[in-house]
Structure 1
Amino acid sequence: MVSTRKGIDVRQVMGAWQLVSFTATDAHGEVTHPFGTEVRGLIIYTPDGHMSAHVAGEDGYLGYAGTFEWLGDRVVHRTVVGSEPRWTEAHLLRTAHLAAGRLTLRSLPDDNGQILGTVWQRMPLGPATEAER
């Protein structure tokens, strides 16, 4: 999990993030909302290198879990299980940008030039965490 490139320090992304938006951008730059505009989701990064990501909306669900490696301005999600066969036992490279309390992750273009994008905001501390303070 040690960063080998300049960019985001992995300690800045530890914890839980809730989904703000989920988009798909085609090769011509047209942006769509594959699961609709009312989406919910959660991504979690743990200090021991595990992660889990879930996105749900009126038009679908996707999710996967496994381990991660943070590489400065990129992250690799190494999945163990996924809601689609292509996301099970896969290495999913995402570009990453962190600004104003929001984490933006974008896939590399697929064979059709489509890029999936997610924007996340840090979730507030849960009751168990607050009780430990």
Structure 2
Amino acid sequence: MSALENLVIGAWTLVSFEQESQAGEIIYPLGDDAKGSIYYLPNGYVSVHIMDVNRSENVAELLYKDKQLKYNDLGYLAYSGRYHIDEENRIMTHHIEISLYPEWIRGQQVRLIKLDGEHLQLSSNGPVGPQKIQFRLLWKRALND
């Protein structure tokens, strides 16, 4: 196990999830008060859950529009699988095995890693998606109370 992996293992709570457009505009896709958790286990597994705290209580009526399932309207993101850390380049890859989004299954989420004390920042490795956004997730180590 690498030194960086030893530092990452454990439970983390979401501080912020933001996206930056090519024009430099910052948006919060699940709200500026989104809640979330990410767990890195010593056996190489990761589990991620992030939600919009203001999401609708009537999810069923939001799920289908024009007979198509609209996951983005759920205000929730969740997946799990294995992870691998490239310590030299400070890159983490999540290999997704289970996901709320079926199109993510068997895919990968690649993240740049920054550790600063009790904070872990995971960010995109350059612009992603058709809108060429960059995203950053800031996590704080969950402490036992």
TM-score range, shorter chain: 0.7 to 0.9
The residue aligned with 1:104 is 121
Question: How far apart are 1:46 and its partner, in Å?
Answer: 0.4
Write the distance in 1 (CA, Å) between the matches of 2:121 and 2:94: 14
**Within the alignment, does 1:118 sit opposite 2:113 as a pair?**
no
Give the Cα separation in 1 of the matches to 2:138 and 2:103: 22
Partner of 1:131: none
Amino acid at match of 2:10: G
Of 52, 61, 81, which residue of structure 2 is paired with 1:66? 81
CA distance in 1, matches of 2:111, 2:135: 9
How many pairs are equivalent?
Answer: 121
- 1:40-90: CA deviation from partner (whole Å, max 9, x where unpaired): 100000000000011101251111100000112110000001121332211
Amino acid at match of 1:110: V
Question: 1:81-106 CA deviation, whole Å, 9 max, x = no partner?
Answer: 11213322111110010003100001
Distance in structure 2 (CA, Å) of the matches to 1:27 and 1:34:
16
Offset, 1:28: 1.7
Which runs of no fewer than 5 residues in structure 1 stay unpaired?
127-133
How is 1:23-102 mapped onto 2 (pairs within 5 angstroms)? 23-57=18-52, 58-59=54-55, 60-72=75-87, 73-102=90-119
**How far apart in 1 are the matches of 2:91 and 2:103?**
20
CA distance in 2: counterparts of 1:9 and 1:100, whole angstroms:
13
Structure possessing the higher radius of gyration over alpha carbons: 2
Q: Please give the alpha-carbon distance, in whole angstroms, between the structure 2 residues aligned to 1:91 and 1:28.
A: 27
Identity of aligned residues (%): 30
The alpha carbon displacement at 1:37 in A equals: 1.2
Structure 1 CA distance, aligned partners of 2:103 and 2:18?
Answer: 19
Gaps of 5+ in 2: 56-74
1:116 deviates by 2.1
- CA distance in structure 1 between the aligned counterparts of 2:133 and 2:100, rounded to whole angstroms: 19
